[in-house]
Structure 1
Amino acid sequence: MEFDEAMNLTANYLATTVAQGLTGLELEGVVDVCPANASLLVRFDPDVLAPEELKRRAQELESQARTSTQHRAQTRIIEVPVWYQDPYTAEVVQRFREGYHQDPSGTDLDYAAHVNGLSDAAEFIRRHHGSPWLVSMVGFVAGLPFMYQLVPRERQLEVPKYLSPRTDTPPLTVGHGGCFACIYSVRGAGGYQMFGIAAAPIYDPAQELPDFRDFLILFRPGDLVKFRPVDEAEYRSIQEQVEAGTWRFKQAPVTFDVEAALADPDTYNRTLLEALDGAEN
C-alpha cells in the first residue's frame, strides 16, 4: 500500500496506523506487516486470506485514519548519546575517499556542512542534535532505524549518499543519506555519510540489556529520537555500563500530534523534549 509518492508526516502516520490496525485484527493468513516511510508491505497467504478481503480491510483502516479529526499516536521519545567526530568512523572515512566520496579532500561532516550552507562541522552537529527525529521505518539490516527530522522542510538537513558504497561501516555509526538519518545496528557495507557513533547498542540479539527484555530490537516505527552529544569520557562510561548489563536508554512516553508538529514545529518540539527532562535512564 502506498500512501504518498514522497515521505511526509501524514503519509508516515497513515502507514504506521494502518499497520497497527492490521496487526490488531489478527487476520488468519497474515504473515507479516511492515510499515515504511510512506508505504506498507503486507505478506500473507492467499490460500488462507483472499487478496480482495485483505485489500478491503486495509482500505477501511486507511479511510478511518484519513477521516479522523485527530491524527495522534501514543509513542515514546528516546535519548541516544552520540560521540560525534569519533576516531572509529574517522578512520573508516579516511579509507573511503578517492572513488567513493564527492569531496575526497575533507571529512563527511565537512562535506555535510558545506552542502547545507553551514559555516563548519560544529554548526552541522548542533543542527543535527538540536531537534527530535521521527523513526519512520526500521529495516535494511536488523534493527536499523531510518529517521526523519522534525523541522520545517526548508530547514531539513540533506546530504547525498557516497558516490559508491563502502564495504565497511562501524557498528552504531550515525549516518545520513538524503533527508534521512540512521544508526547502523551492525558492522557492514553502507553508503550514508558518517558523523559519529552511538554509545549503546540498538540491537541486542541475546536480549541481555534491560531495554531488550521484550524484544531484541530497540526502535519501532513511530518512536521519536533525540541525539545527545557526549565526549570520549562519557562514551567510555556508557560502554562500561553496557558491559555490566546495567545500561538503559533515557526515554519517556509521549503523544505525537501530527497537526501540532506541522503547524508550529519549533514550539511542539520543545514540548517533546521537555518530556525527557524528568525521565531517568
Structure 2
Amino acid sequence: MKTRYSHGGDEHIFVEMDEEMSLDAFFKSLSMTNALREAKIDGVTEICPANASCQVKFDPDVIAPDAMLEELKKLEDVAEAAEKRMTTRIVEVPVFYQDPWTHETLMRFRERHQDPSGTDLDYAAKINGFDNAEGFIAAHHANPWFVSMVGFVSGLPFLYQLVERERQLQVPKYLRPRTDTPKQTVGYGGCFSCIYSVRGAGGYQMFGITPMTIFDPKQEVSYLRDFMVFFRPGDIVKFSPIDRDEYDRILKEVEAGTYTPKIAEVDFDLEAFNADIAGTNAKLMEALDGA
C-alpha cells in the first residue's frame, strides 16, 4: 500500500492508506492513530480515524505543518510493524428486512433511483446475481460485518463485510440522494452497509430497519447511558433477520428500558482471518450463542 499525505489548510493533514477499502488498510490506519496518541506530540488537537485513512488536526502555532508531516511519516513504520489484532466485541443487530417504513420511503423516491420499476432490494439482488430479494437478504446477514468507521452523521457505523473480496456485495448509491430516510434504516452504498442513526437525507439503498437504537444524545436508552453512540471502530456486527412481531417486541423493550443488545467479547486476528475466513467467521458468530 502506498500512503498518501495531503494538507487540509494550515490545521489538518489527511493520511490515505489506500485508495481501496480493505482490512489491511483499516488496521494500518488504526495502528497509526494509536501510535500518534501514544506519541503525545505537542500541538495535536484531534485524531480522526476513518475506513482506510485518518485525519489529524493540529495547532500550527505550536507545530508547523511541515514538522507535523514529518512526525506522521516517522509513525508509518510503527504502523506497518504493529500487530494486526484486537480484542473487540461482536454484536447481534436484529433487522426487519422488507419493512413497510423503508418501502414507503423508497417508493416516494423512485425517480432518483437506477431502476424505478422495482425496489432497492430487487435492484441489489439483480446486479449481484441473485434470483430474488430473498437471496440477497440471505447473503447480507449470512456473514459478520466489521465496523471500520463511525461518523458522517453522529453514531452512523460504516460496515465492511467479512468475506473474500470476490464475494463482496456491491450496490451503488441512489443517482440523486433522498430528502428522507427513516431512523435506524439498514442501508447499502458501494461496498459498505450502514445503519442510519437519525432520520434525514440519504443516498444508500434501503433494505430494512432495526428496532435497536444506536444513537441517543439524551442518553435515556438503558444501554446508552454511559455514552450516546453505541458503535465504535473495530466492532463486529451480525445482522439477524426478524419479523414484524419480533420488531414490535424489541422496540417496546427498548422504549421501556429493558432491552439489552446481545454482545460477546472476541479476539480478531487479521492474519488468522485471511488464512481461514470461513472458520474465523464461524468462531465469531458462535461467540454470540453463549451471550
Q: For 1:6 and 1:138, how far apart are their aligned partners in 2?
A: 18
Is structure 2 residue 258 aligned with structure 1 residue 246? yes
Give the AA of the match of 2:205: Q
Instruction: Decide whether the 8 Å contact of 1:79 with 1:225 is kept in 2.
Output: yes
Instruction: Decide whether the 8 Å contact of 2:170 with 2:190 is kept in 1.
Output: yes
2:94 pairs with one of 64, 76, 81 = 81
Instruction: Decide whether the 8 Å contact of 1:65 with 1:71 is kept in 2.
Output: no
Give the AA of the match of 1:267: G
SS of the residue 1:32 aligns to: strand
Partner of 1:13: 27
Change (3 A) 1:9 1:94: same
Change (3 A) 1:26 1:201: farther
Partner of 1:181: 193
Larger deviation, residues 9-18 vs 106-115: 9-18
Cα offset, 1:192, TM superposition: 0.6
Instruction: Decide whether the 8 Å contact of 2:147 with 2:237 is kept in 1.
Output: yes
Change (3 A) 1:190 1:76: same
Percent of paired sites with the same residue: 59
Cα offset, 1:207, TM superposition: 1.2
SS of the residue 1:268 aligns to: helix
**Unpaired stretches in structure 1, ≥5 consecutive residues:** none
TM-score by structure 1 length? Answer: 0.94
Give the AA of the match of 1:58: L
What pairs with 1:44-123 in structure 2 (closer than 5 Å)? 44-68=58-82, 70-98=83-111, 100-123=112-135
Cα offset, 1:235, TM superposition: 0.8
Is structure 2 residue 54 aligned with structure 1 residue 40? yes
Change (3 A) 1:24 1:277: farther
Partner of 2:284: 272
Q: For 2:264 and 2:64, how far apart are their aligned partners in 1?
A: 40
Q: How many residues align?
A: 277
Q: For 2:65 and 2:88, how far apart are their aligned partners in 1?
A: 31
Instruction: Decide whether the 8 Å contact of 2:32 with 2:78 is kept in 1.
Output: no
TM-score by structure 2 length? Answer: 0.91
1:214 pairs with one of 217, 226, 234 = 226
Cα offset, 1:52, TM superposition: 4.5
Per-residue CA distance 1:57-102 (angstroms, 9 max, x = gap): 433433123124x41112111111111000100000110112x111
Cα offset, 1:45, TM superposition: 1.1
Q: For 2:26 and 2:87, how far apart are their aligned partners in 1?
A: 14
